[in-house]
Structure formats: structure tokens, C-alpha cells
Amino acid sequence: MKHNHKPGYLFILLFCWLLLAAPRPGQAQEDTPQLTVRLGRDFGYSSGGGDIQGTFSFRASGPDNLESVTFYIDDEAIGTVTQPPFRLQFNTDNYGLGLHTLRATGVTSDGQILESTPIVRNFVTAGEGWQAAGRIVVPLLGGMVLIMAVAWGITMLASRRRGTLPLGAPRQYGAYGGAICPKCQRPYSMHMLAFNLLTSRYDYCPHCGKWSLVKRATPQELAAAEQAELALASPDAQVPELSPEEKLRRQLEDSRFEDTR
Ligand SMILES: [Zn+2]
């Protein structure tokens, strides 16, 4: 059966070669100069599917001896440009709603008249344009708000877990450094998701849960604040010495929430 495959395979190869070698329709007319018209959006809305609204520009390009280009919307000539760049601006609001044919004719120095391929566009109202844009932008904004809310939630959870830290307990300050809460005077690790305001950050204290403007504290200030926590503790409260396992667990947790950027 294997030998049956060969003629079929050869035939496909031959067919592909013929396809590649066949002159494409565009190539056949290479001797005739072409006038190409493109449409650029200057300000407004374009659905990508042919609906447009706002200020757009015709842009025509052709042979080097192109002398003038006249632009048309349907059968109305909207302007003639006699020097490069052959460009003409128009606003869709000056024309009726619905489908329009946009095209151009060009004249060369040797008197040839060139016709561009027509472009068909559907002129829509500004309202329709903004509504369509809203259908894209609104879900996008919604998604961003959702992501921010989730990030916020993670930070809050992380802070809640840390809120159980006993007074005076040894701790690690993460990549963002430590700060001292102006409300309860206890030191804490600054959060990845705090708001940066020049040299200060608007961050929340995991101990008392209050938001305040804090600065990165020096190690000396932090050590002093840790010592001060001891004074806040009731006299009979024991400062717990963390077991090695607990220390390691805390360090891992710190690196998980703070060192990742
Ligand atoms: Zn506080």
C-alpha cells in the first residue's frame, strides 16, 4: 500500500508549486501605477469592523509623478491636494449616518488618471461610538477594581495574621523596612501595597489597624520601639521567646508577603 502514497504526495507538491508560481492578480498590473488610499483616525472612534465616528484623514500614495489627488465621500469631491503628503482631514459628523464609500482619484504629470480602491465605512453617531467604547472600557475598569480589591484582601489577611504578635516579641522587618505607628507606638513591617507619598508612605498598623503617614524607621528606632512595647505590656506578662521552628515560620511568612515584588 505504501507505494500508493507517492503519486498523491507528488501531486500535492506540484499543486503547491503551481500556487506559488502563479502570478497574483496584483502583480499582473504592476506596470500601471497604483493610487493607494488609507484612512487614519485623528480623533474619534473606530470599531475595527467598519464603524467610525469623529475626525479622520485620508492618506493617498502613488507614483513619484503624482501631481494631485481628489478625495471623495460617495460622489461628493471633498477636496483636492496638489502636493505631498496627499492628506485630507474630514469629520464624519458632517455627513449622513450609514454606509459611505471613500475613495480618491489621482492625476500624474504625464496626464494619467488613477483610481484608488474604494473603502466602505459605516458612519455612526458619537453616542454609539462612546457606547461601544464603554462596552470595552467599563469591564476593563471593573477588572482592575477587582484585582485591587483582591490584593487589598490579601494584605488585610496578612496583617490580621501578624496582629497576634505579642508585645516585645522579636520580629523581622521586610524589604520595605519597619515603621513605628504614631497611634499606638508599636513598630511594624511596612506593607507592599501601601501608598507612596514622596518620602512617606500611607500605611496601616497591623496592631491597632489604623492608617497613618509613616516613614521608614532606623534599626535603632525600631529596637527602641520594641523595648517600649515591653513597658506597654502588663508587668506579669512574659515576653515569649520564639522557638526556632516558630522563628523560621515567621521568616518564611515575611519573605512570602514582603520580599516579593
Ligand atoms: Zn498602631
**DSSP string covering the chain:** -GGGHHHHHHHHHHHHHHHHHSPPHHHHTTTS---EEEEEEEEEEE-SSSEEEEEEEEEEE--TTEEEEEEEETTEEEEEE-SSSEEEEEEGGGS-SEEEEEEEEEEETT--EEEPPPEEEEE--HHHHHHHHHHHHHHHHHHHHHHHHHHHHHHHHHHHHHTTPPTT------TT-EEE-TTT--EEEPPTTPEEETTEEEEE-TTT--EEEE-PPPHHHHHHHHHHHHHHS-TTPPPPPPPHHHHHHHHHHHHHHHS--
Counted domains in the chain: 2
Distance of CA 146 from the midpoint of ligand 1 (Å): 28
Rounded average pLDDT over 194-213:
84
Lowest model confidence (mean pLDDT) among 128-132, 180-184, 241-245: 241-245
Distance of CA 234 from the midpoint of ligand 1 (Å): 18
Residue 239 clears pLDDT 60, i.e. is over it: no
pLDDT on residue 11 = 65
- Do 117 and 152 lie in one domain? The reply is no
CATH of the domain at 124: 2.60.40.10
pLDDT on residue 260 = 43
Distance of CA 220 from the midpoint of ligand 1 (Å): 19
Convert the pLDDT of each residue in 70-107 to its tens digit.
999 998 999 999 988 899 999 998 988 889 999 999 99
Q: Which of 79, 104, 129 is the last residue of a domain?
A: 129
Distance of CA 186 from the midpoint of ligand 1 (Å): 6
Distance of CA 145 from the midpoint of ligand 1 (Å): 27
Q: Which of 129, 153, 185 is the last residue of a domain?
A: 129
Distance of CA 207 from the midpoint of ligand 1 (Å): 5
Residue 213 clears pLDDT 80, i.e. is over it: yes
Rounded average pLDDT over 161-184:
75
Distance of CA 212 from the midpoint of ligand 1 (Å): 9
- Do 149 and 121 lie in one domain? The reply is no
Distance of CA 246 from the midpoint of ligand 1 (Å): 24
- Do 104 and 157 lie in one domain? The reply is no
pLDDT on residue 190 = 86
2 is a domain residue: no
- Do 62 and 107 lie in one domain? The reply is yes
pLDDT on residue 27 = 46
Q: Which residues form the domain of 221? A: 144-258
pLDDT band at 163 (very low <50, low <70, confident <90, very high): low
